[in-house]
């Protein structure tokens, strides 16, 4: 019996959350090694398997995989969530890259200065509703099928439901002008694997972290706060 995939990350969302989502959507049980201190992270680096000294890292199929996109592409391909040919994979990549842009805006939002938080929130919501969501609404409307690539669930659909729920955490009702995305959300969240992942007690992480947890996160990764704030601005 093959060992369960193992995700090495901190106890929060960040870039590791998309890995959790994709494994869960594929119906794959996985374990987590969650570090909570800088020392635990340093010990992981000293172990010698962490290429580039960055996480997330996934131990799977005899490999120690790093770089989020590389991990996600491998999982998507392994579990038939990456299209049937090169053209479909190119479409999935284009959809996902847009979603990652939006995902990153939300991920860095927690670092906003108090006086800039509303401005940054408005920017995220404007980008979501005027640049990104219209693309996916149009795709679903044009072909009239259940998923972004017809009637086959793909990595792009999993990434999209993750992003939709993240934006809704910032502002409820954000899908009011997007009927096809509303239908998509209702449909995807009823899929057994997704439904299970959305239940309390799953490996999905909560959206908010308090100030103390944020300071721990900065120490673990030695985050340059000025750089993060510049990114948000």
Statement: residue 31 has pLDDT above 80: yes
Give yes or no: residues 146 and 94 share one domain: yes
Task: Identify whether 182 is part of a domain.
Answer: yes
Q: 221 vs 144, which has greater pLDDT? A: 144
pLDDT digits (tens, 9 = 90+) for 82-105: 999 999 999 999 999 999 999 999
Give yes or no: residues 103 and 182 share one domain: yes
Beta bridge partners of 65: 58
Give yes or no: residues 93 and 154 share one domain: yes
| pLDDT computed for residue 233 by the predictor | 43
Give yes or no: residues 164 and 185 share one domain: yes
Q: What is the rounded average pLDDT for all residues in the chain?
A: 90
Task: Identify whether 176 is part of a domain.
Answer: yes
Our count of domains for the chain comes to 2
Q: 226 vs 58, which has greater pLDDT? A: 58
Residues 6+ apart with CB under 8 A from 164: 175, 181, 184, 185
Task: Identify whether 41 is part of a domain.
Answer: yes
Range of the domain at 56: 6-79+199-221
| pLDDT computed for residue 232 by the predictor | 43
Instruction: Tell me the CATH number at 34.
Output: 3.40.30.10
pLDDT digits (tens, 9 = 90+) for 175-215: 999 999 999 999 999 999 999 999 999 999 988 676 677 77
Residue 191: cis peptide before it, omega within 30 degrees of 0: no
Task: Identify whether 226 is part of a domain.
Answer: no
Give yes or no: residues 105 and 31 share one domain: no
Beta bridge partners of 57: 8, 66
Task: Identify whether 133 is part of a domain.
Answer: yes
Give yes or no: residues 164 and 208 share one domain: no
Helix, strand, coil percentages (3-state) for the chain, rounded to 5, are 60, 10, 30
Give yes or no: residues 120 and 46 share one domain: no
Give yes or no: residues 55 and 122 share one domain: no
Task: Identify whether 177 is part of a domain.
Answer: yes
Task: Identify whether 168 is part of a domain.
Answer: yes
Contact 103, 10 (CB under 8 A): no
Give yes or no: residues 180 and 90 share one domain: yes
What are the DSSP calls for 53-120, one per residue? G-S-EEEETTEEEESHHHHHHHHHHHTT-S-SSHHHHHHHHHHHHHHHHHHHHHHHHTT--GGGHHHH
Instruction: Tell me the CATH number at 97.
Output: 1.20.1050.10
Give yes or no: residues 99 and 175 share one domain: yes
Give yes or no: residues 176 and 204 share one domain: no
Task: Identify whether 232 is part of a domain.
Answer: no
Give yes or no: residues 141 and 73 share one domain: no
């Amino acid at each position: 019996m093959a060992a369960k995939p193992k995700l090495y990350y901190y106890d929060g969302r960040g870039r590791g959350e998309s890995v959790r989502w994709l494994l869960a959507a594929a119906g794959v049980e996985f374990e987590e090694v969650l570090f909570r201190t800088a020392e635990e992270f340093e010990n992981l680096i000293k172990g010698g398997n962490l290429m580039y000294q960055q996480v997330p890292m996934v131990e799977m199929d005899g490999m120690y995989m790093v770089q989020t996109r590389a991990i996600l592409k491998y999982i998507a391909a392994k579990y038939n969530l990456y299209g049937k040919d090169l053209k479909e994979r190119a479409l999935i990549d284009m959809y996902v890259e847009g979603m990652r842009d939006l995902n990153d805006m939300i991920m860095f939002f927690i670092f906003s200065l108090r006086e800039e938080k509303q401005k940054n929130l408005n920017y995220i919501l404007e980008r979501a509703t005027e640049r990104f969501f219209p693309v996916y609404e149009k795709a679903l409307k044009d072909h009239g099928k259940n998923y972004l690539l017809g009637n086959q669930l793909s990595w792009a659909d999993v990434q999209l439901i993750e992003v939709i729920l993240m934006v809704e955490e910032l502002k409820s009702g954000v899908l009011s002008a997007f009927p096809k995305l509303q239908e998509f959300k209702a449909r995807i969240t009823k899929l057994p694997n997704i439904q299970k992942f959305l239940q309390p007690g799953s490996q999905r992480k909560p959206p908010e972290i308090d100030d103390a947890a944020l300071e721990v996160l900065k120490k673990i990764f030695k985050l340059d706060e000025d750089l993060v704030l510049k990114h948000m601005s």
